[in-house]
Amino acid sequence: MQKAKPQGMPVVARVFIAAVGVAGLAGMVITFAGWQPELRSRFVFYLLIALASSGMKVRFPGTKSSISANDVFTMLGLLELRLPETLILATAGAIAQLCWHAKGRVKMVGLFFNSTSVALAVFSAAWMFGRPWFTNMPEGELLRLALAGVVYFVVNTVPVSVVIALHEHRSVQTVWKENYYWLFFYYMVGVSLAEVVHTATQRIGFAFTLALLPLAYAIYRSYKLYLGKLEQEKVHAESMASLHLKTIEALAMAIEAKDECTHEHLRRVQVYSLELGKYLGLPPDQVHALQAASILHDIGKLAVPDYIISKPGKLTPEEFDKMKIHTIVGAEILEQVGFPYPVSPIVRSHHEKWDGTGYPDGLKDEEIPIGARILSAVDCLDALASDRQYRRALPLDDAMNYVASLSGRSFDPKVVEVLKHHYRDFERLAQSTPLQSTRLRKDIVVSRGDAPDAGFEKSPGAAVESTEELVKAHAASVASARREMQTVLELAQDVSGSLRPQELLSVLAERLRHIVPYDCIAVYSRDGEVLRPKYVNGENSRTFAALEIPVGQGLSGWVVENGKPIINGNPSVEPGYLKDPSRFSVLNSALSIPLRDEAGQVNGALTLYGAEKDAYSRDQLRVLLAVADKVARAIEISIKAGPPQHSTRDELTGLPNADSLYSHLQKELGRCELEGKTLAILACDLSGVKQVNARYGHLNGDALLRRVAEILQSKCRSSDFVARMGGDEFAVVLNGMRASELAGRVESLDSMVRAASLEMFGDESVGMSVGVACFPEHGADVDSLLSHADQEMERSKREQKAGNGVLELARSLK
């Protein structure tokens, strides 16, 4: 029998041990109080045999419990010995057994509890055996002994189960069922053996008992050898199961080599799936199948092109057709493995939907295997709650609400109901049980091997569908769009003209905006394994201008690595875009195309970012592809021209640009530091310009921006500095000004902008949000001052939406 482990137990468990001990000791005192010790030969013989047999303990494979011959002698003691003698026999055997099998020093608390709990079991069994029941029946003694054996079994096993349950924070019933309830049969066998020995001794003599000892020992040795053989077979089976699991994990590593998001995904999906399977009462073979399928459900992605798996945007219909085959391919791969449980049906059907609209077979309701129904819901929940190439992760609660909204349509309602009640518990369990897996190294450089046996390809790009071919396929539709073609011709003329590179890119951006509207434009140039912004203009332009995007990462990096466009991707996946937690994205879609040099090699990307979700169409992609070579040519010119060609003026307003502002601030901060003077920066952002462009056209929007530039210059002294940062953002540098002196100036800027809006468009829909940063209070360098001004501007923008933005800022400055 498994013994309780008292170390490290909670207080409740210790109190229970003390209560059992006190009750057992009290019973011992009462029992021995009136007893006159008498060393009878039979008692001494049984005691010696019981002590000697304490080492004859048999542990059953797959359990923590065991049985020994002591219980037989306890039952025999009830038949032939007095209660004090039986108590000594049972407790001495229990103590000897505990000491015999102890690993290390015997814990006194364990010795105290196990001996007193056995004493309670003996008292209870003796009381039951002493009942005047069945006295008129020949079998009465055996029936009373059987009842005593039942009581002895219950009282002997339940207290130990309680202690273990309190220690491990589990149900008493669960612990008892796992370790003890199946021992009842062996206790009854002990009762029968005790009755046989007692009856034979009465009828044949005590010599019969002595003659049984060698036979009993031979049976014990044979049974122990048999159980030892079972234990070896169990260890071998576990070893094979472990090997099987290692094979599964090796296959999972093959998936991970294709999809970097899979490693963390596998850990969570496996834990969630197995826990759901337990709650839903799946049979063992289904649980094993679910365990394997939760790791291997995406193995069919080995047959899907890399660029589709890693694409940081929505799939095209053609790409989705290729993606869908991973369910069938995965099932066919796993059928060859020969799992002893149904893994491949789960993998094949894990994208089926409850209403029959899934793939690949269109199964519905109960036609879908239960494992696939579990995996489908869990896979969706984890995918929503994890970062993907095409979007950021949702909070777990929001992801669960979305899954619940699809109950009865995409997912089994019964599965969703259980998942909804326990998903937080599953998440905690998933975080505490990491998946043991080795990540494959894919950044190794192999220097050996000069060329493949068949030689190198002589015409690179001949076997790959290029962007140029895609443009030719749509040449007829491009020619049919007069306005679009006219713009393309204007771009070509600009490239061939005498404009400086930055001016050229600026003109290109302005021309392009009329045919493919955007809120921010970025032209990236490849520099080794990094993309650097060559030209940025529009919303969040300063943030994009500071990015360095590794090739293959984010939206633009994926486009350059794969040489394929993306339509309506997620801007927030650009590495470093939202690294500042104080900022939030107002851009929700992107259109990006690769830019190629004259040799056909991808040397950059043109990316348009939009505030609206799904802002771009395939027609706009077609137009952008038509001008891609012109943009690529402009980049080549700017690279060859080098740094001295940078423009210092904004083409639209004539104000200094962001580069000029940065240089001016560096010089002014140095001067202020030497002379001990102050300096203030106003970061200004116009609201409502997008609506003006939409209602009145970009020409009127441009006119508004020029008018705002004039307003800012009119409110400044000759020593002040006004610059356009890009898009709707302006900056003003005020020498010798403190925050307390700016209140009236800030308030009047918003009023003048609204007055200009009223004059030009008949309403005050355009306003200005202003953020203020002062030297030296808010920073001692350019970056910290601009960052503080940006944060204050964002706060002003939020307050302005609530109706008190600039006014509240003005009051705070006062």
- Lowest-pLDDT choice from 75-89, 212-226, 409-423, 712-726: 212-226
Q: Is residue 712 within 8 Å of residue 732, measured between CB atoms?
A: yes
Instruction: Label residue 730 by pLDDT band (50, 70, 90).
Output: very high
Domain shared by 524 and 379, yes or no: no
CA-CA distance, 547 to 530, in Å (whole number)?
10
pLDDT at 486 over 60: no
One-letter amino acid for residue 620 of the chain: Q
Q: Are residues 101 and 165 in the same domain?
A: yes
What pLDDT score was predicted for residue 666?
86
Between 482 and 175, the higher pLDDT residue: 175
pLDDT confidence of residue 2: 47
Q: How far apart are CA 681 and CA 778, in angstroms?
A: 10
Q: Is the dihedral of CA 142, 148, 151, 154 positive or negative?
A: negative
Q: Among 713, 750, 755, 754, which Cα is nearest to 734's?
A: 713
Specify the pLDDT at position 804. 53
How many other C-beta atoms are found inside a 10 Å radius of the C-beta of residue 241? 12
Residues 138 and 25 in one domain: yes
CA dist., res. 372 & res. 125, Å (int): 52
- What's the angle, vertex CA 591, arms to CA 588 and CA 595, rounded to 5? 145
Burial class (CB in 10 A: 0-12, 13-18, 19+), 2: middle
Phi/psi-derived region of residue 484, left when phi > 0, alpha when psi is between -120 and 50, beta in every other case: alpha
Residue 349 has pLDDT above 90, yes or no: yes
Q: How much is the pLDDT for 445?
A: 59
State which residues form the domain around 752: 658-813
Check whether residue 665 and residue 554 sit in a common domain. Answer: no
Q: Is the pLDDT of residue 144 over 60?
A: yes
Residue 283 lies in a domain: yes
**Overall domain count for the chain:** 4
More confident residue, 750 or 475: 750
Answer yes or no: is 230 within a domain. no
SS3 call for 608: strand
CB 387 within 8 A of CB 367: no
> Collapsing DSSP states into helix, strand and coil, what is residue 398?
helix
Mean pLDDT value of segment 413-437: 82
Confidence of residue 368 (pLDDT cuts 50, 70, 90): very high
Residue finishing a domain among 178, 203, 228: 203
Q: Three-state SS for 762?
A: coil
Whether 327 and 350 have beta carbons less than 8 Å apart is answered as yes
Specify whether 89 is located in the same domain as 180.
Answer: yes
DSSP-derived 3-state class of residue 289: helix
| Residue of 38, 41, 39 lying closest to 49 (CA atoms) | 41
User: What is the mean pLDDT of the segment spanning 481-491?
Assistant: 47
Domain ends where: 624, 645, 666?
A: 645
Distance of CA 630 to the CA centre of its chain: 43
Binned at pLDDT 50, 70 and 90, residue 470 comes out as very low
Where residue 519 falls (left for φ over 0; alpha for ψ -120 to 50; beta otherwise) is: alpha
Kindly state whether residues 689 and 755 are assigned to the same domain.
yes
Q: Which residues contact 382 (CB under 8 A, 6 or more apart)?
A: 265, 268, 269, 272
Does any domain span residue 222?
no
Residue 297 has pLDDT above 50, yes or no: yes
Burial of 141 (0-12, 13-18, 19+ CB in 10 A): middle
CATH number of the structural domain spanning residue 390: 1.10.3210.10
Percent of all residues in the chain with a pLDDT value above 70, rounded to a whole number: 78
pLDDT band at 304 (very low <50, low <70, confident <90, very high): confident
Do residue 332 and residue 360 come from a single domain? yes
DSSP string, 679-704: EEEEEEEEESHHHHHHHH-HHHHHHH
Token readout for 778 is 């808010």
Same domain for 607 and 731, yes or no, is no
pLDDT digits over 80-116, tens only? 888 888 898 888 888 887 777 666 677 888 888 888 9
Q: Region 351-373: what's the mean pLDDT? A: 93
Q: By C-alpha distance, which of 650, 651, 727, 746 is closest to 689? A: 727
Alpha helices in 169-283 (DSSP H): 172-179, 184-203, 206-258, 262-279
Partnered with residue 733 across adjacent β-strands are: 681, 721
Last residue in a domain, options 645, 670, 701: 645
Residue 615 burial by Cβ neighbours in a 10 Å radius (0-12, 13-18, 19+): buried
Report the CATH number that the domain containing residue 555 is assigned in CATH. Answer: 3.30.450.40
In which residue are the tokens 């009136």 written? 34
pLDDT band at 732 (very low <50, low <70, confident <90, very high): very high
Give residues with Cβ within 8 angstroms of 167, minimum separation 6.
Answer: 4, 5, 8, 9, 10, 13
Percent of the chain scoring above 90 in pLDDT: 16
Rounded Cα distance between 51 and 118, Å, is 15
Residues 178 and 266 in one domain: no
Query: Any idea what the CATH number is for the domain that residue 80 is in?
Result: 1.10.1760.20
Q: Is residue 257 part of a domain?
A: yes
Q: How confident is the model at residue 484 (pLDDT cuts 50, 70, 90)?
A: very low
Both 508 and 543 in a single domain?
A: yes
Cα–chain center distance at 427:
9
Domain of residue 687, CATH code: 3.30.70.270
The confidence score (pLDDT) of residue 498 equals: 52
- pTM to 2 decimal places: 0.48
Compute and round to an integer the Cα radius of gyration of the chain. Answer: 41
Tell me what the mean pLDDT of segment 265-270 comes to: 79
Domain check: are 249 and 186 in the same one? no
| Helices 689-696 and 743-761, packing angle to 10 deg | 10
| DSSP SS3 for 281 | coil
**In terms of domains, do 248 and 389 share one?**
yes
Instruction: Flag whether 5 is in a domain.
Output: no
Question: Strand 566-569 to strand 549-550: parallel, antiparallel, or no bridges (unpaired)?
Answer: unpaired
Whether 127 is in a domain gets the answer yes
- Tens digit of each residue's pLDDT (9 = 90 or more) over 712-726: 988 888 889 999 988
Tell me if 445 is assigned to some domain. Answer: no
Domain presence at residue 671: yes
Beta-bridge partners for 605:
524, 594
What is the mean pLDDT of the segment spanning 11-29?
89
Find which of 135-144, 533-542, 767-776, 793-802 is predicted with most confidence, using mean pLDDT: 767-776
